[in-house]
Amino acid sequence: MSLSYLMATALSGQLQKPIGGGQWTESVVHPFEGPPDGGFSYNGMVLDRFGNFYGATVHGGTEDDGCVYKFTP
């Protein structure tokens, strides 16, 4: 799996994955909806050796100071 499999958008925030088949489209995997969920993801994501993606958001968490998220495809 490549790092381009998922991307986090910087505005409203959502995890997306591309869907192939001639014409590429995007599918929303998770919408960030703000506190207590994350909001405004930034700095991209990192991939661990088990295939999990980790990222951070500016907003979210119990104090709205941001949160770290894990996504397992």
pLDDT tens-digit series, residues 22-52: 666 777 777 877 777 888 877 778 999 999 9
Q: Residue 37 is part of which domain span?
A: 3-71
CA dist., res. 26 & res. 4, Å (int) = 12
Q: Which residues share a beta bridge with 17?
A: 27
**What does pTM read for this prediction?**
0.67
Query: Residue 64 pLDDT more than 50?
Result: yes
Mean pLDDT, the chain, rounded, equals 75
pLDDT band at 5, cuts 50/70/90? Answer: very low
Q: Residue 32: its pLDDT value, please?
A: 79
Q: How many domains does the chain have?
A: 1
CA atoms of 56 and 59, how far apart (whole Å)? 9
How far is residue 67's CA from residue 46's CA, in Å, rounded to a whole number?
A: 15
